[in-house]
Copies of this chain bind each other. A is one copy, B any other.
Amino acid sequence: MTLGIRRIAIIGMGLIGGSLALAFKAVKGNTVEIIGIDTNELSLFKARQRGAADSVTTDHKAGVIDADMIFLCTPVLQVTSLVKEIAPFLKPGAILTDTGSTKRYLMEQITAILPAEVHFVPGHPMAGREKSGIDAADEQLFCNKWYILTPATAASAQAVESVRRVVGWTGARITVMDAGNHDWCTALISHVPHIGAAALVNLLTYSEDQDSSIKLAGGGFRDTTRIASSNADMWADICMTNAEPIADSLEKFIHIISRVATAVRQGDRACVHSFFVAAKKRRDELLEMEQMVTEQPLPNGR
């Protein structure tokens, strides 16, 4: 099947944009043309050097002209002004997609700006690492990871299919969800755990013997709080653009912890025990479920 996707523009040649570009080139070689766009000239230089782009530019408008598909890989809060800037230069029938961690906010913002003849198919690759930037980019970054698409119900089925095929080149497991649903699920499985890890680290400030706490905090504590070392700006943006699901889920999390704290203080072993048993049972279910999913063949035949 020919997709009619010959020219792909990627705005933001960092970890995500660079990894997408490397994966596309690895699979499609010269049958697809990649235009790398970034305000950082060093990132562009490195992207060329690594073979991630056929041409590069710091000019957003010039870069997107004639592109069949455009990937927005910038921080979430930069996306809206970026789309305002490039919208007049997108060709009719072009397909726009993004890689932001929160989806409803961006859908509302972008749908209001975009010309009717440009298709928007929001996306969220659930892949990342502690390091960022083009140096950390890796053509295998998305392989076997979830890549969620959250098109509006009115979105063109053909545009969704095109994004699905192109993203499929990365080896990702693609799934389609409602944007609001996506935001609630990721609040629970990603945003709240992240805030929890950062809160655990900040809790050490309350220690009466900080030196000993810090000294002993290797091993398990270091691993549990690994995600607390991530980019503060990116996470502040995530919190701002997914406020209701995050705040609601944090309040439920607080409720659960409060009940445990009360049971611990009252010496209610049965209550504390059932809390740990429930967690162990549910996590074992998760592992089983994950194994089932992993054993299914990849939908994109990679």
Residues of A within 8 A of B (CB): 126-127, 145-146, 148, 175, 177, 181, 184-186, 188-190, 192-193, 195-209, 212-230, 232-233, 235-236, 239-240, 243-244, 246-247, 249-254, 256-258, 260-265, 267, 269, 272-273, 275-280, 282-287, 289-290, 293
Within the complex, which residue of B126, B190, B239 is in contact with A264, where a contact is CB–CB below 8 Å? B239
Which label, helix, strand, loop or mixed, suits the secondary structure of the A interface?
helix
Contacts of A264 in B (CB 8 A): 239-240, 243, 246-247, 250
Q: Which residue of B lies closest to A203 (CB)?
A: B253
16 contacts between A and B (CB under 8 A): A185-B207, A188-B203, A188-B207, A189-B220, A198-B275, A201-B283, A203-B252, A203-B253, A204-B282, A228-B279, A228-B280, A229-B283, A230-B280, A235-B272, A247-B264, A250-B257
Check if A206 sits within 8 Å of B250, measured CB to CB.
no
Contacts of A195 in B (CB 8 A): 257, 260
Contacts of A251 in B (CB 8 A): 261
Report the separation of the CA atoms of residues A273 and B195 in the bound assembly, to the nearest whole angstrom: 11
Report the separation of the CA atoms of residues A224 and B192 in the bound assembly, to the nearest whole angstrom: 11
The 5 closest A-B pairs by CB, nearest first: A198-B279, A232-B276, A250-B261, A236-B273, A247-B265
- Among the interface residues A243, A246, A254, A264, which one has the most CB atoms of the partner chain B within 10 A? A264
Contacts of A181 in B (CB 8 A): 208-209, 212
Q: How far is the CB of A138 from chain B (nearest CB, A)?
A: 15
Report the separation of the CA atoms of residues A287 and B218 in the bound assembly, to the nearest whole angstrom: 8
Q: How far is the CB of A246 from chain B (nearest CB, A)?
A: 5
Check if A200 sits within 8 Å of B192, measured CB to CB.
yes
Check if A220 sits within 8 Å of B216, measured CB to CB.
no
Contacts of A278 in B (CB 8 A): 202, 205
Q: How far is the CB of A185 from chain B (nearest CB, A)?
A: 5
Report the separation of the CA atoms of residues A189 and B219 in the bound assembly, to the nearest whole angstrom: 10
Check if A252 sits within 8 Å of B206, measured CB to CB.
yes
Within the complex, which residue of B192, B213, B258 is in contact with A188, where a contact is CB–CB below 8 Å? B213
Report the separation of the CA atoms of residues A175 and B214 in the bound assembly, to the nearest whole angstrom: 13
Given contacts A209-B181, A235-B276, A253 and B243 within 8 Å (CB-CB): no
Q: How far is the CB of A167 from chain B (nearest CB, A)?
A: 16
Q: How far is the CB of A211 from chain B (nearest CB, A)?
A: 9
Check if B148 sits within 8 Å of A236, measured CB to CB.
no
Check if B207 sits within 8 Å of A277, measured CB to CB.
no
Check if A275 sits within 8 Å of B202, measured CB to CB.
yes
Within the complex, which residue of B213, B272, B287 is in contact with A222, where a contact is CB–CB below 8 Å? B287
Check if A208 sits within 8 Å of B184, measured CB to CB.
yes
Q: How far is the CB of A57 from chain B (nearest CB, A)?
A: 31
Q: Which residue of B lies closest to A285 (CB)?
A: B214
Within the complex, which residue of B200, B202, B227 is in contact with A220, where a contact is CB–CB below 8 Å? B227
Q: How far is the CB of A142 from chain B (nearest CB, A)?
A: 12
